[in-house]
């Protein structure tokens, strides 16, 4: 293994003839880096674009007027189990990377030459770089592709391992911890880097299925499996048809998953290196809960929703919990005022919807609760208000004790004075016996073929 790595990775070695004390001295094939990977990535045309534009940039060949373009990276992918076919993916640092790249190599078993964590050096003169399907790719000219793979016979012209004095330097990679809501265009620099999601699981519809699906003839096919994290973010894990542990059954557990973040057009997705990247050993959490990344139990606050975008349903400080169905409270705006709104109207026929909007409160420090409310359309009671002190985020709401305080408020049955016009529901004095951390819970319960009442909430205030 070591000889294969040293030879193919283009590290020059001198072996001492003393049998009792073999010494290995290695020298790097390429000179020291002249650019950072981030600077090289910036050469790609339309770097801010999310899709392939058809444009690539050819890095000039080294000559008297064009200096060497050399940069380093650390391998995060592995084709040992069948993913990452004829490519290696690498990032600029072992920990807290700022950018990642994919390079095509027209050979298989690249993990034997460039294992996970391998420190590599790219001499990029004469290569092409561009954005394909949302990810920056570097390669060579090919009449059949915008950016081609490097032929096996000349890989050493462009790619080399970096020597640590006695062999290929292999770093310990530290995946960046993220949640699935982080997979968006504002974090596109994470593409082609190694990430980890804690408190994740495959969605319940995937449980028991093989990681790699089959077609009607029983042949393995490229497969996407849905995952969700405890904050309600979702994504997919994409595996190649040639992934060796294809029959691995989707576990009925939760835990952490590590993957190389990839992107295909507008879809962010994860590619695992092997089954060891899936570390699911804990009980599953309740699906349908969105938000909660920054829960703060406070005894005094006002939430007016002005800081959120219209149609937003992810509230880091609160839990937006679709217990039955898939309807969530969303931010709406009327007459330059923002509020949250929920309705069962427009859902599939005879479909029930139950949602809990849960606001964390330090009841020991809190005295009163007020909020504004309006009904946009009414055909049956759909809104209730509760307190609870024994709900654990991530668990089913059925495990909690809910104390109904709805009768202390005026919940309208007709629009107050117009759609989107909210008025106070009254002030409720929280009992002194109510102490500790817990939640104010707004429960909406409707049915697309029955109660389709539209409710709006604003200015939730605890003093």
pLDDT at residue number 46: 60
pLDDT at residue number 14: 41
Question: Under a CB-based contact definition with an 8 Å cutoff, are residues 144 and 154 in contact?
Answer: no
Q: Are residues 297 and 403 in the same domain?
A: yes
Q: Are residues 13 and 93 in the same domain?
A: yes
Whether the model pTM is above 0.95: no
Q: Pick the last residue of a domain from 127, 161, 195.
A: 161
How many Cβ atoms sit within 10 Å of the Cβ of residue 281?
9
pLDDT at residue number 2: 39
Q: Are residues 437 and 364 in the same domain?
A: yes
For the CA atoms of 232, 238, 244, 245, the dihedral, rounded to the nearest 10 degrees, stands at: 10
Q: Pick the last residue of a domain from 134, 161, 188.
A: 161
Task: Count Cα neighbours of 287 within 13 Å in the Cβ-side half-sphere.
Answer: 18
Strands 24-27 and 56-58: unpaired
DSSP 292-345: -TT---BSSEEE--TTS-TT----TTSEEEEEESS---EEEEETTEEEEEE--T
Closest C-alpha to 262, from 73, 100, 97, 55: 100
Residue 376 counted as domain residue:
yes
Q: Are residues 259 and 301 in the same domain?
A: no
Residue 168 counted as domain residue:
no
Task: Count Cα neighbours of 12 within 13 Å in the Cβ-side half-sphere.
Answer: 5
Kindly report the CATH number assigned to the domain that includes residue 415: 2.60.120.200
Q: Pick the last residue of a domain from 244, 260, 282.
A: 282
CA distance 337 to 120: 54
Residue 125 counted as domain residue:
yes
Q: Are residues 382 and 416 in the same domain?
A: yes
pLDDT at residue number 25: 57
pLDDT at residue number 10: 46
Three-class SS state of 12: strand
Q: b/e map of 365-391 (b: 16 or more CB within 10 Å)?
A: ebeebbbbbbbbebeeebbbbbbbeeb
- One digit per residue, the tens of pLDDT, for the chain of length 463 reads 333 333 344 454 444 444 454 444 577 899 999 999 999 999 988 644 444 445 899 999 999 999 999 999 999 999 999 999 999 999 999 999 999 999 999 999 999 999 999 999 999 999 999 987 678 899 999 998 889 999 999 999 999 999 987 789 999 999 999 999 999 989 999 999 999 999 999 999 999 999 999 999 999 999 999 999 999 999 999 999 999 999 999 999 999 999 999 998 889 999 999 999 999 999 999 999 999 999 999 999 999 999 999 999 999 999 999 999 999 999 999 999 999 999 999 888 889 999 999 999 999 999 999 999 999 889 999 999 999 999 999 999 999 999 999 999 999 988 876 677 899 999 999 999 999 999 999 999 999 988 999 999 999 999 9
Kindly report the CATH number assigned to the domain that includes residue 183: 2.40.50
pLDDT at residue number 418: 67
CA distance 278 to 257: 5
Q: b/e map of 22-35 (b: 16 or more CB within 10 Å)?
A: eeeebebbbeebeb
Question: Under a CB-based contact definition with an 8 Å cutoff, are residues 227 and 178 in contact?
Answer: no
pLDDT at residue number 65: 95
pLDDT at residue number 417: 67
Residue 171 counted as domain residue:
no
Q: Are residues 222 and 302 in the same domain?
A: no
Domain boundaries, position 390: 289-462
Surface-to-core class of residue 335, CB atoms within 10 Å of its CB (0-12 exposed, 13-18 middle, 19+ buried): exposed
Q: Are residues 214 and 157 in the same domain?
A: no
Q: Are residues 68 and 111 in the same domain?
A: yes
- Please give the tally of structural domains in the chain: 3
pLDDT at residue number 348: 83
């Amino acid at each position: 293994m070591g000889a294969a790595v040293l030879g193919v990775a283009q590290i020059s070695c001198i072996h001492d003839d003393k049998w009792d004390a073999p010494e290995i001295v290695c020298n790097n094939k390429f000179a020291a880096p002249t650019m950072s990977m981030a600077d090289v990535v910036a050469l790609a045309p339309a770097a801010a674009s999310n899709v392939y534009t058809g444009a690539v940039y050819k890095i000039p060949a080294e000559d008297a007027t064009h200096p060497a373009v050399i940069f380093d990276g650390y391998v995060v992918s592995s084709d040992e189990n069948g993913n990452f076919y004829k490519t290696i993916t690498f990032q600029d640092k072992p920990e807290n990377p700022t950018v990642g790249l994919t390079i095509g190599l027209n050979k298989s078993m690249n993990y034997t030459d460039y294992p996970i964590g391998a420190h590599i050096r790219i001499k990029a003169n004469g290569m092409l770089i561009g954005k394909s399907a949302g990810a920056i790719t570097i390669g060579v000219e090919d009449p059949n592709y915008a950016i081609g793979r490097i032929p096996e016979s000349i890989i050493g012209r462009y790619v080399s391992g970096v020597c640590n004095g006695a062999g290929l330097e292999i770093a310990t990679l530290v995946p960046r911890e993220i949640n699935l809501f982080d997979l968006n265009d504002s974090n596109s620099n994470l593409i082609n880097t190694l990430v980890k999601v804690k408190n994740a699981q495959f969605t319940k519809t995937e449980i028991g299925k093989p990681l790699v699906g089959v077609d009607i003839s029983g042949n393995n096919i490229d497969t996407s499996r849905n995952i969700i994290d405890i904050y309600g973010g979702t994504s997919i894990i994409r595996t190649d048809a040639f992934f060796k542990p294809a029959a691995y059954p989707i576990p009925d557990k939760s835990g952490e998953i590590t993957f190389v973040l990839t992107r295909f057009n507008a879809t962010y997705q994860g590619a695992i290196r092997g089954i060891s990247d899936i570390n699911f050993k804990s009980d599953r959490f309740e699906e349908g809960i969105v938000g909660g990344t920054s829960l703060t139990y406070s005894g005094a606050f006002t939430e007016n929703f002005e800081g959120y975008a219209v149609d937003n349903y992810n509230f880091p400080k609160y839990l937006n919990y679709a217990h039955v169905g898939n309807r969530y409270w969303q931010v709406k705006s009327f007459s330059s005022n923002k509020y949250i709104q929920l309705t069962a109207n427009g859902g599939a026929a005879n479909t029930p919807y139950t949602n809990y909007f849960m606001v964390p409160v330090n009841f020991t420090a809190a005295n009163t609760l007020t909020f504004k409310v309006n009904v946009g359309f009414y055909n049956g009671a759909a809104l209730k208000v509760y307190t609870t002190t024994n709900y654990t985020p991530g668990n089913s709401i059925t495990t909690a004790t809910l104390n109904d305080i709805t009768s202390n408020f005026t919940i309208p049955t007709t629009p107050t004075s117009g759609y989107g016009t909210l008025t106070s529901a009254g002030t409720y004095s929280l009992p002194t016996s109510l102490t500790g951390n817990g939640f104010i819970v707004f429960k909406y319960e409707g049915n697309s073929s029955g109660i389709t009442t539209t409710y709006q909430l604003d200015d939730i205030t605890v003093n």
